[in-house]
Chains A and B, each alone.
Chain A
Amino acid sequence: MIHVNSIDPRTKLFFVAMVSSIAIITNDIMVLIGLFVLSIVALFLLGGFSISLFYRFRKLLFVILAIALVQSFFTSQGSSILQIGEKVILTDFGILRAVQFALRITIVIISSLILITSSSRNLIQGLLQFKIPYEIVFMLSIAAKFLPILRDEMVNKVIAMQLRGIDFNRIGLRKKIALYRYLLFPVTINSLLKSKDMSVAMEMRGFRAMDGRTSYRSLKMKNVDYIIIFFSLIIGLSLVVFKIVKGGI
């Protein structure tokens, strides 16, 4: 098992970008299955794969299958496999489309899981070393930090409302909608006031005071990173060449 922390986040970013792009462009089912297997293996090697994943994602899997089947239902090309009287329900082409869709989505999901095996601070550093402007990366990290706080605040507010004696089960729909004002209004104002305070604190810590900035942390690519990138490129290019040779993506 490759040690999770030792793979540079940029390698993962590269791998994921490559896999996702090919998955979205290609229609070839073999390619998609190949990419799917490749990403599962990658996730496994990074230690991000566990049986509990299936458990947590089971609802999502149902949704994907449902959407896939609906898609196939509305695709009338191809020869029919299942029909009720005159109405065609499933066609072979439709099922193919459904499988492609399901594979694509799953590949994208697995890609995000691969990214999450790096700590958020390493990912951010990776983005920075890819020369994405600090302001943008910084804003992303602040959003990532505050979204859970915002969610907690909403949850607490809903609890607090009930503790003022308001029973959600007993009030009518119109009043429930009116309650939203009391939920959203304070949260919005609080967020605005907090961001004002935060911007003062940021400015007093020198944010954007000077044209550049130094970086305490730095990521260094190791041999294993270059190997992975190299092989990813080879596989990616082979797939593309294979497609072109076979005649059209």
Chain B
Amino acid sequence: MDDAMIKIDRISFGYKKGEELFKNFSLSLNMKEITVLLGRNGSGKTSLTKIILGILKPPIGEVWIKGTNIKELSLGQVGSIIGYVFQNPDHQIFGATVMDQLLWTADFLGQDKEYIGQKANSLLKDFDIEKLVDIYPYQLSLGEKRILTLASAMISDPDYLILDEPTSSLDPDRIRILSGYIRSIHKKGTGALIITHDKDFAMEWGDRIITIDEGKIKDDTCK
């Protein structure tokens, strides 16, 4: 079993009995690469990510993250390896200010506050949101919230990112900042799975583009 791989091994899964979304489905993801998962609404993209994270548990088949079976990992442990950014940023905003949003987990995770503080500052700079530091996150625009949740996912140095429709509703400037950031962390060895329905964005991106429809892989190309 390779290190730095996410392996989905012959899973079957359906939301309703008899209606199976995934049947004998397998997929391997290189955690150092940027992979794009392309598909319409309902194609199974979001379900697949939930299966990778262990939120949904397929009755048949196995999922392995870095050689460990996901059944042996709690969601918290998965979260320290994989950073996940929801499509709706409101699901992940917890803090009373932007800074609070980045720092609040340090206490609960037993992390060194000074280190986290520095990390937060450099993230704020990289994402160009320093001026928003003391603002109530709920007052931010959608684009700003998106950037904030991405920064929050990065704060604990995950090995891999999963981003759900990161560019939807972002203006071109923010998309550029986001793309730039993903590129720079990719260079440092952190890959990402980007879920999108935007073909143009996919084309510009993925080292590897997987097209999924109705729970099946329709296309899998590497640049």
Residue ranges of A at the interface with B (Cβ–Cβ < 8 Å): 153, 156-157, 159-171, 175, 178-179, 182-183, 185-186, 189-190, 193
Residue contact A175 to B76, C-beta cutoff 8 Å? no
Inside 8 A of B108's CB, which chain A residues have their CB? 166, 171, 175, 178-179
Given contacts A171-B108, A193-B138, contact A166 B86 (CB under 8 A): no
Residue contact B91 to A166, C-beta cutoff 8 Å? no
Inside 8 A of A156's CB, which chain B residues have their CB? 86, 88, 91
What is the interface residue range for chain B against chain A? 20 to 34
Inside 8 A of A164's CB, which chain B residues have their CB? 79, 92, 105, 152-153, 156
Give 5 closest A-B pairs by Cβ, nearest first: A167-B76, A163-B79, A165-B80, A162-B75, A156-B91
Residue ranges of B at the interface with A (Cβ–Cβ < 8 Å): 53, 55, 74-80, 82-84, 86, 88, 90-96, 104-105, 107-109, 136, 138, 152-153, 156
**In whole Å, how far is A39's beta carbon from the nearest beta carbon of chain B?**
30
Inside 8 A of A162's CB, which chain B residues have their CB? 74-76, 78-79
**In whole Å, how far is A17's beta carbon from the nearest beta carbon of chain B?**
36
Residue contact B79 to A165, C-beta cutoff 8 Å? yes
Given contacts A179-B108, A182-B104, contact A161 B94 (CB under 8 A): yes
Inside 8 A of A168's CB, which chain B residues have their CB? 74, 76
Inside 8 A of B104's CB, which chain A residues have their CB? 182
Inside 8 A of B94's CB, which chain A residues have their CB? 157, 160-161, 182-183, 185-186
Docked Cα-Cα span, A171 to B78, in Å, equals 16
Docked Cα-Cα span, A240 to B168, in Å, equals 64
Inside 8 A of A153's CB, which chain B residues have their CB? 90-91
Given contacts A166-B108, A171-B108, A179-B108, contact A190 B90 (CB under 8 A): yes
**In whole Å, how far is A162's beta carbon from the nearest beta carbon of chain B?**
4
Docked Cα-Cα span, A160 to B82, in Å, equals 12
Residue contact B138 to A165, C-beta cutoff 8 Å? no
Docked Cα-Cα span, A178 to B108, in Å, equals 9
**In whole Å, how far is A149's beta carbon from the nearest beta carbon of chain B?**
11
A/B interface sample: 16 pairs, CB < 8 A: A153-B90, A153-B91, A156-B91, A157-B94, A159-B55, A159-B75, A160-B91, A160-B94, A163-B83, A164-B153, A164-B156, A171-B108, A178-B107, A182-B94, A190-B138, A193-B138
Inside 8 A of A157's CB, which chain B residues have their CB? 91-92, 94
**In whole Å, how far is A201's beta carbon from the nearest beta carbon of chain B?**
17
**In whole Å, how far is B62's beta carbon from the nearest beta carbon of chain A?**
21
- Give which listed residue, B76, B84, B88, B109, contacts A169 with CB less than 8 A: B76
Inside 8 A of B88's CB, which chain A residues have their CB? 156
Inside 8 A of A167's CB, which chain B residues have their CB? 74-77
Residue contact B109 to A166, C-beta cutoff 8 Å? yes
- Give which listed residue, A163, A171, A185, contacts B84 with CB less than 8 A: A163
Residue contact A163 to B138, C-beta cutoff 8 Å? no
**In whole Å, how far is B119's beta carbon from the nearest beta carbon of chain A?**
14
Docked Cα-Cα span, A167 to B79, in Å, equals 9
Inside 8 A of B156's CB, which chain A residues have their CB? 164-165
A169 nearest in chain B by CB position: B74
Inside 8 A of B82's CB, which chain A residues have their CB? 163
Inside 8 A of A163's CB, which chain B residues have their CB? 53, 75, 78-79, 82-84
Residue contact B105 to A186, C-beta cutoff 8 Å? no
